[in-house]
Amino acid sequence: MINKISYLDYNSTTPIDPRVLEAMLPFLKYNFANPSSTHHFGQSINEKVKQAREQIANFIKAEPNELFFTSGATEAINIALKGVAECYSSKGKHIITVSTEHKAVIDTCKDLERKGFEVTYLPVQSNGLIDLKDLQKAIRNDTILVSVMYVNNETGVIQPINEISKIAHEKGALFMSDATQAVGKIDVNVDDLGIDLLSFSGHKMYAPKGIGALFVRQKGNKVKLTAQTHGGGHEQGLRSGTLNVPGIVALAKACEIASEEMLQRENAISELRDTLESELLKLPNTSLNGDSKIRIYNTTNICFKGQDANVLIGRMKGIAVSNGSACSSAVVEPSHVLKAMGISDDDAFGSLRFSLGKLNTREEIRNVIQAIHKMLIPTLT
């Protein structure tokens, strides 16, 4: 429980681990030099950045020169998609992604379409998984990139990344994955998975907001990107701007902690998630959205048929969950992820995402179950 709030929205953001905060504080207070400065102070900080880069790269089984720091996954996705599109346009202008991707991918692809690129948005099955046959039919000789999210942020569904990367590479296309909901929760090995570009954010794994990374393969099939940000040539010229040293140090510490504790977390969190899910699904007119097995261990997305998720959230005093819908300029739309799975607008509006983390407790989950049962049973019976 966080400040007396039962926080079940870890897929949105996580609290900073106290050990991460402790690691980054000296770089906010004392070790503040610019790592690009040539004086001794700056170069000493640059050494810390090098160490952090190596540690983070090792966490995903990459080389240090393949890791580029960004402000988060959204920026990393923009750099990757736009950089590939511009650099490989002579080969082709066709990109493939999935209809259930995060808006960072969808909106960037829409922007590329306005610039003359053709984008195929693969459908998903009712369980949220793509059909590999659809990918095989869609991929062409002029396809330059296939981009598929590793773990869906709303349903937790895990796509068959290894098989997808093989199909992409057989056609000479690059393969990119938004692994924001995977890195820090499960083992991610970019070589074993055949990933050419991978993005993730620190604030999904107990590091602060404002730091993320982009993996760009340099071994074997070297990936080239056209820079989208200019002004100093930082990050090998790919992403100019003074480095966020405290964030980088924090991300490295978060990776270190995750490497030591991931398995323990998985066992504990999955048990809590399963308890929460099974008890909530005992309520009438409820159903699970997404595959029940091929998914990340901390996430469940449940439809409360006939309910309004926004109203439910408003009534859940002291409980933080997500409805998964996008709100913009006072216009509320049903989740594009759930709609792509064939779920009706009404059921999408009645769905809630519960995403758990390492600070959740059994007592807390029992209290949440009781609160939701008490709130819904009078209206459902």
Same-domain pairing of 66 and 100? yes
Is residue 245 included in any domain, yes or no? yes
| Model pLDDT, residue 232 | 79
Is residue 163 domain-resident? yes
CB 122 within 8 A of CB 147: no
Report the alpha-carbon distance of residue 199 to residue 44 in Å, rounded.
Answer: 28
Fill in the amino acid letter for 131: D
* Catalytic status, residue 327: yes
Q: Which two tokens stand for residue 321?
A: 């969950």
- In the DSSP assignment, the letter for residue 115 is T
Q: In the chain, where does DSSP find H-type helix? A: 18-24, 26-29, 40-59, 73-87, 103-114, 132-138, 161-170, 190-193, 245-280, 309-315, 336-340, 345-349, 362-380
CA 82 to chain centre: 19
In a domain, 181, yes or no: yes
* Residues 321/298, Cβ–Cβ less than 8 Å: no
Q: Which helix (H) or strand (E) holds 98?
A: strand 94-98
What is residue 237's predicted lDDT score, i.e. its pLDDT? 77
Residue 85 lies inside a defined structural domain of this protein: yes
**Does 232 lie in the same domain as 266?**
no
Q: Are 200 and 251 in contact (CB under 8 A)?
A: no
Distance of CA 132 to the CA centre of its chain: 22
Domain shared by 280 and 220, yes or no: no
Answer yes or no: do 249 and 276 share one domain: no
CA distance 276 to 33: 47
Asked if residue 1 belongs to a domain, the reply is: no
CATH number of the domain that 370 lies in? Answer: 3.90.1150.10
Please tell me the predicted confidence (pLDDT) of residue 323: 87
- H/E element, 303: strand 299-304
- 3 state DSSP class of 70: strand
Within a domain: 35: yes
Q: Are residues 197 and 305 in the same domain?
A: no
In the block, residue with structure tokens 């990107």: 225
Contacts with 210 (C-beta within 8 Å, 6 or more apart), sequence order: 71, 72, 202, 203, 244, 247
Identify the CATH number of the domain in which residue 126 sits.
Answer: 3.40.640.10
304: which strand partners?
286
Domain count, the chain: 2
Q: Which of 189, 224, 256 is the last residue of a domain?
A: 256
Boundary-marking domain end, from 213, 232, 256: 256
- Residue ending a domain, among 199, 227, 256, is 256
Q: Give yes or no: residues 250 and 332 share one domain.
A: no
Catalytic residue among 87, 109, 255, 327: 327
Cα 73 to Cα 101: distance, rounded to the nearest angstrom: 13
Number of C-beta neighbours around residue 347 at 10 A: 20
- Indicate whether 296 belongs to any domain: yes
For the chain, how big is the Rg over CA atoms in Å? 21
Q: Are 85 and 186 in a shared domain? A: yes
* Two structure tokens written together for 253: 């510490």
pLDDT value at residue 328? 40
Query: Are 43 and 143 members of one domain?
Result: yes
Q: What is the pLDDT of residue 3?
A: 64
**What is residue 112's DSSP assignment?**
H
Q: Which residues contact 153 (CB under 8 A, 6 or more apart)?
A: 11, 102, 180, 181, 337
Examine residue 250 and state whether it is found in any structural domain, yes or no: yes
Residues 155 and 300 in one domain: no
> Do residues 148 and 220 both lie within one domain?
yes
Range of the domain at 59: 18-256
* CA–CA gap between residue 294 and residue 186 (Å, rounded): 13
Q: Which amino acid is at 370?
A: Q
pLDDT score for 75: 97
pLDDT for 325: 46
Cα 20 from Cα 27, distance rounded (Å): 12
**Is 168 in the same domain as 270?**
no
b/e per residue 263-296 (b: at least 16 CB within 10 A): eebeebbeebbeebbebbeebeebebbbbeeebb
Partnered with residue 201 across adjacent β-strands are 212
pLDDT lower than 50: segments of the chain:
325-330, 381
* 295/359 same-domain check: yes
C-alpha span between 68 and 48 (Å, rounded): 15
DSSP string, 137-155: HH--TTEEEEE--SB-TTT
